[in-house]
Structure 1
Amino acid sequence: MQDDDVNPVDSSGESAGMQARTVERHVFLAGAAAVVVDQIAEETPVALVYNGISHAVMMATARDLDDFALGFSLSESIIDDIAEVYDIELHTNPDVHGIEMQIRISSGRFAALKERRRNLAGNTGCGLCGKESLQALQMQMPTVATSGMPFDQLSKASLLKAAQSLNDRQAINLQTGALHAAGWVDMAGDIQIVREDVGRHNALDKLLGAVASRKMSTSHGFVLMSSRLSYELVQKTARANIAILAAFSAPTTLAIDLATQAGMCLIGFVREHGFVVYSHPERLLAE
């Protein structure tokens, strides 16, 4: 799958491109001007290519891209299990400013992906316009509260503990101030994994890929994000069978509706001293 002018590189993203670039900027403050050097977040086109066919191009941070490819494949229902991914290779092309993630999946999942692409090509409407599209969206929502799955309950103290430490775990954002973060947190409030990206959806996909590749139990932890909560984040988290999604900012109404439908506890405005629960408060311990 490798061309002569395409070079495989380290999937961590270190060889694919920097996550931050040093630039000179002019600062005007309180009537004074100064020239300083600062770190600015890099944004790189990343093409997700399945069995040789390009499926999507995302603007992303060139780091943890194996996790990104795996998480995107799972959260977008391209695969149902990581065993259906046979290989992931990262390539750069000197003629194109960007990265290709070459993902080889099973023949059955690839056939389903091609069928989905044909259906999308025949739809001239916008993604969520009209009654039929909204009904289709609702039908795609799984329910995380499956029978026989003993989901842990989260204490308020554990949630606030995680919120106090997430910012310090954002290595690139501490340099640039421009990246979102998604953290996988255990029920004691200890952050196990953090993934960063310029896009909040990408950060979550990276996190879900990391959790899946490590075969971590999704019933014994929760996702904490630095961003607002959109319906796409709820969809992706529900598809990973995660019962609790929390964030520093607000949810949208559709995010609340879908979280309620999926059996997810949706928590917004997580701050040092409190938070707001929008759906399924029974996921929290009564303290």
Structure 2
Amino acid sequence: MRKRLGQVWRAAGEPAGVDRITPRETPIALSFDGRPHTVLMASPGDVEDLALGFTLTEGVARLEAIAGVEIRVQPGGLVVDIRLVEGATRGRPRPRSLEGRSSCGLCGVQRLADAVRPLPKVSEGQIFTHEALQRALIALEGLQPLGSLTRATHAAAFASADGRIVLVREDVGRHNALDKLGGALARAGVATRDGFVLVTSRCSFEMVEKVARLDCPMIVAISAPTDLAIQKAQEAGVTLVALARADGHTVFSGAERFGRASLPLEGRA
């Protein structure tokens, strides 16, 4: 983090100087077995979690196929090499030709078929309550130290079914924060099918894709979802909740996970 000087202007009042703490945004080059894959613009913390989470949520390899992660500091940023177990089953990384901006989850993907891929079905059986979701949402507000200082980052958190926050990761990019969370959950051995993910951002389809590949049954976003996000959530059996605020939230798919009191969503426009 760095402190920057600025000038505040208000319609009613004189301009005034202000000190503002800003988050760092660093190029992080990811490679697999020494072969360059992409460059992410991300916050330079929890980098190993980011590498593991990216590998898992992009469908490159399962956790048991990852032999190790090597991080090297270079003048222009960080170089991270993910080493995969020889002979282990691995997916095909989506080919990329550009850096991944912090605001974009698919920058540089070269083919339409690689942009929107079929998703696995998540595990069934978990039931949630609206009250637990709201408890987790309120708790998350106080668990974002970087966001509290800068007001310029996103958070991704995992909560247990009763609404207790288990892990939180922050980053300047919403996709990076979710990848960091995925990596941290995998390293901690957390059973993702037993809880849900909260993100302090909008919910686009690639956020649903990452949650599905983590085998997590529900994603909760504080902002609105896209139409494709809802479609992909239905495809993967993911419960998608958005517009989650202090006074309530809206369920867009998978309402059955809230029990019999929920309204059916199928066939409604």
2:60–2:90: 8 Å Cα contact kept in structure 1? no
AA aligned to 1:169 is L
Residue 77 of structure 1, CA deviation: 0.9
Task: Look up the match of 2:102.
Answer: none
The answer to whether structure 1 residue 87 and structure 2 residue 86 are counterparts is no
* Aligned match for 1:157, one of 103, 111, 131: 131
- What are the Cα deviations for residues 131-166 of structure 1, in whole angstroms up to 9, with x where unaligned? xx39x835x211114xxx5x3211111000111121
2: CA distance, partners of 1:273 / 1:186: 21
| Aligned: 1:232 with 2:232 | no
Alignment partner, residue 77 of structure 2: 98
Tell me, yes or no, if structure 1 residue 282 matches structure 2 residue 256.
yes
Q: Corresponding residue for 1:51? A: 33
More helix by share: 1
Identical residues among aligned pairs (%): 38
Output the aligned Cα RMSD. Answer: 2.1
Whole-Å separation in 1 of the counterparts to 2:175 and 2:22: 20
The answer for the alignment partner of 1:266 in structure 2 is: 240
Distance in structure 2 (CA, Å) of the matches to 1:192 and 1:112: 29
Partner of residue 65, structure 1: 47
Question: Are the aligned partners of 1:78 and 1:109 in contact in 2 as well (CA < 8 Å)?
Answer: no
**Distance 1:111-1:270 versus aligned 2 partners, 3 A rule:** closer
- Counterpart of 1:12 in structure 2 is none
The residue number in structure 1 matching 2:265 is none
1:98-143: CA deviations, max 9, x gaps? 11112111234598548x659xxxxxx9543xxxx39x835x2111
Q: Which residue identity does 2:185 align to in structure 1?
A: V
- Does residue 116 of structure 2 align to residue 137 of structure 1? yes
Aligned length: 248
Which residues of 2 match residues 15-30 of structure 1 at below 5 A? 20-29=1-10, 30=12
- 2:29 and 2:79 in contact (8 A); partners too: yes
CA contact (8 A) 1:156 1:285 kept: no
Amino acid at match of 2:212: A
TM-score normalized with structure 1 length: 0.81
Deviations 1:176-210 (A, max 9, x none): 00101100000111111000111111110000111
Amino acid at match of 1:237: V
Match of 1:199 among 173, 182, 191: 173
Q: Distance in 2 between matches of 1:90 and 1:25?
A: 34
8 Å CA contact 2:159, 2:198 repeated in 1: yes
Q: Secondary structure at the match of 1:99?
A: strand
Separation in structure 1 between the aligned mates of residue 218 and residue 91 of structure 2, nearest angstrom: 30
Q: What residue number does 2:264 align with?
A: none
Which whole-Å CA distance do the structure 1 matches of 2:90 and 2:52 have between them? Answer: 18
Q: Structure 1 residues 253 and 194, CA, compared in 2 at 3 Å: closer, same or farther?
A: same
The answer to whether the Cα contact below 8 Å between 1:51 and 1:110 also exists between their aligned partners in 2 is: no
C-alpha separation between the residues in 1 aligned to 2:29 and 2:89? 17
CA contact (8 A) 2:67 2:84 kept: yes
Q: Structure 2: which 5+ runs fail to align?
A: 97-108, 262-269
Max Rg structure: 1
1:210 partner amino acid:
A
State how far apart, in whole Å, the 1-side matches of 2:35 and 2:205 are. 28
